[in-house]
Amino acid sequence: MTDNNVTNILMAGVGGQGTLLASEILSEVLMQAGYDVKKAEVHGMAQRGGSVVSHVRFGKKVYSSIIPEGEVDVLFGFELLETYRYLPLVKESGAVVVNNLKIAPPSVALGKRDYPTDVAAKLKELVANVHVVDGLQLAEQAGNSRTVNTVLLGALSNTLEPTHEQWLAAIKSLVPERFLDVNLKAFELGRQVC
C-alpha cells in the first residue's frame, strides 16, 4: 500500500478479453470488504481489439479514480504486450500478474512490425515480483476459454485481503447464472497458481 493507504491496481488488456467485467468484480469484492473504491476505464476501440485499461483504487478514503504515474501497486495484465506497455506506471515495489498470451496488435497483424520476443522475460528483468499465468490453458481446463479473466482474478485474489467467500459472492453477483459454474471453477484454478 502507498503512504496514504490507497492501493492501486491497473488492469490492461485487449477488447474482448473481459477486462471490464474483471474490474467490476474486483471493485465489488473490495467494496464488500469495506474499502472505499474508485474505478476509471478507458476502452475507446475495445470492441475492435484495441487497448482496454481500468484503474481500480481502494483504501480507507480514495479521492481520485485515476492512478498517478509511478504509483501502480499491481499491474494486472490480460495480454503480454499490453502489460509491457504500462510497465512504466508501476512503482519500484510493485508487482505484475500477467496472462501468458500474445494477441497481435494491428501493426503486427498487417505485417508492418514483429511481435517482440520474450516479453515475459523482459517483464521479469524489470520487476522483481512477476507472476506469469497460463490463463487460457486454465480457462480451457475449467470448460470455457472465455473465462481467462476469472482465472486471472483467482490468481490476483491471493495477493489481496478480501476473503475467499467475499470473492465468490462478488462473482455470483455479477456473472450471469448460465456462466456461473464455469467461472467459479476458473476462479479456483487461478487461485492455485499464485
Task: Please tell me the predicted confidence (pLDDT) of residue 178.
Answer: 96
* The amino acid at 189: L
Q: How confident is the model at residue 48 (pLDDT cuts 50, 70, 90)?
A: low
Which run of H or E residues covers position 164?
helix 164-174
Helix or strand holding residue 13 (H, E): strand 6-14
Axis-axis angle for helices 148-157, 19-32 (nearest 10): 30
Percent of the chain residues topping a pLDDT of 90? 77
According to DSSP, the β-strands at 90-99 and 72-77 are parallel
Helix (H, G, I), strand (E, B) or coil at 52: strand
Query: Residue 76 in contact with residue 97, Cβ under 8 Å?
Result: yes
For 160-186, what is each residue's pLDDT tens digit? Answer: 999 999 999 999 999 999 999 999 999
| CATH level 2 (architecture), domain 6-191 | 3-Layer(aba) Sandwich (3.40)
pLDDT tens for each residue of 98-117: 999 998 877 788 889 988 89
CA atoms of 84 and 80, how far apart (whole Å)? 6
The pTM score is 0.90
114-147 pLDDT per residue, tens: 888 999 999 999 999 999 999 999 999 999 999 9
In this prediction, residue 45 has a pLDDT band, given cuts at 50, 70 and 90, of: low
CA–CA dist 83, 99 (Å, integer)? 9
Specify the 3-state DSSP secondary structure of 19.
helix
Note the maximum CA span of the chain: 48
d(CA 164, CA 144): 22
pLDDT at 176: 96
Mean pLDDT, range 146-160, rounded to an integer = 95
- Per-position DSSP letters for 55-103, written without gaps between them: EEEEES----SSPPTT-EEEEEESSHHHHHHTGGGEEEEEEEEEE----
* 14/171: higher pLDDT: 171
